[in-house]
Amino acid sequence: MKKLVVITGASSGFGKALALEFSKGGYPLLLLARRVELLEELNLANTICEKVDVTNYEAFEKSVRKAEELYGKTDLIINNAGVMFLGNIASQDPQQWQTMLDVNVMGVMNGMKIVMEDMKQRKCGTIVNIASIAGVKPFPLHAAYCATKYGVIGLSETARGELAEHNVRVIRICPGAVNTELLSHTTSDEIKANYKVWIETTGVGSITANDIAKTVKFAYEMPQGVNLREIQIADTRQDA
């Protein structure tokens, strides 16, 4: 059997597409999200589904160890779980900043910490962190979200350097706008409506979650000695 792949936020969007793509490729999986019933509905072979909030380090680690007992050590973790609340920095509820920082940054760091030591000792392993083009350049009304995604880029590149001598890869994926549930959590109807107008007027819409999943799988399946450090992937018609 192939080696264990752990995917966070696998109940919708990129995570769900990743689960389907890696399962098709014959990998045993650990799928994590809070809506565990959506993970179970996928009904994938050699797959453990766990209800885990990635901000809860103990629960996250317990699930990974449980899957490792069955399938062997984690060879790939995809830290994909994330939330986006768009808003003007001056008026946005700081609780939304905190939630984004907790899930998008601490959740990713938790996932890295849970697998890193073993990977170092085995001199093998891959960590994929889902960042964003909003981690490479700013976008209006994305200040707090950008802060988290710039954070993911900074931590990924620093960890990449620190893990290099151990032959462990850290890869950051920076997608542009893709239609998933992500926008739905923003609380301002006006911001959501304007975002949709931008999508419609630019014609962004060809790219799918499945394109992101295929790209992650391609990067992972390159030889361990080859690291696609950062991949920016967006709809051809995305102008920003």
Non-local CB neighbours of 217 within 8 Å, separated by 6+ positions: 18, 21, 22, 25
Based on the shown chain and the rule CB under 6 A, indicate whether residue 80 belongs to the binding site for ligand NDP: yes
Based on the shown chain and the rule CB under 6 A, indicate whether residue 200 belongs to the binding site for ligand NDP: no
Based on the shown chain and the rule CB under 6 A, indicate whether residue 11 belongs to the binding site for ligand NDP: yes
Residue 145 designated active-site: yes
Residues 96-155 that bind ligand NDP (CB under 6 A): 103, 130, 132
Report the residue from 9, 87, 111, 125 that binds ligand NDP according to the rule CB under 6 A: 9
State in angstroms the smallest separation of the CB of 184 from ligand NDP. Answer: 7
Report the residue from 5, 83, 155, 170 that binds ligand NDP according to the rule CB under 6 A: 83
Report the residue from 5, 13, 21, 92 that binds ligand NDP according to the rule CB under 6 A: 13
Alpha helices in 76-208 (DSSP H): 94-100, 107-122, 143-163, 189-202
Residues 231, 76, 112, 170, CA torsion sign: negative
Which CB atom, from 10 or from 170, has the smaller least distance to ligand NDP? 10
Which helix H or strand E contains 79, and what residues bound it?
strand 74-79
Cα-based distances in Å from 147 to 85, 104, 180: 12, 10, 21
| Residue 32 near residue 8, CB atoms below 8 Å | yes
Report the residue from 24, 25, 35, 41 that binds ligand NDP according to the rule CB under 6 A: 35
Return the range that interacts with ligand NDP (CB under 6 A); candidates 88-96, 110-118, 180-188, 214-222: 180-188
Based on the shown chain and the rule CB under 6 A, indicate whether residue 33 belongs to the binding site for ligand NDP: yes
Residue 157 is encoded by which pair of tokens? 């590149």
Of 126, 30, 42, nearest in space to 72 by CA: 30
How far is 228 from 147, CA to CA, in rounded Å? Answer: 23
State in angstroms the smallest separation of the CB of 124 from ligand NDP. Answer: 25
Based on the shown chain and the rule CB under 6 A, indicate whether residue 7 belongs to the binding site for ligand NDP: no
State in angstroms the smallest separation of the CB of 213 from ligand NDP. Answer: 10
State in angstroms the smallest separation of the CB of 188 from ligand NDP. Answer: 17
In what order do the strands lie in the sheet containing 169-175? Answer: 47-51, 29-33, 4-8, 74-79, 126-130, 169-175, 230-233
From the candidates 27, 71, 145, 150, which is the catalytic residue? 145
The residues assigned a catalytic role are 145
Q: Which residues bind ligand NDP (CB under 6 A)?
A: 8-15, 33-35, 53-55, 80-84, 103, 130, 132, 175, 177-178, 180-182
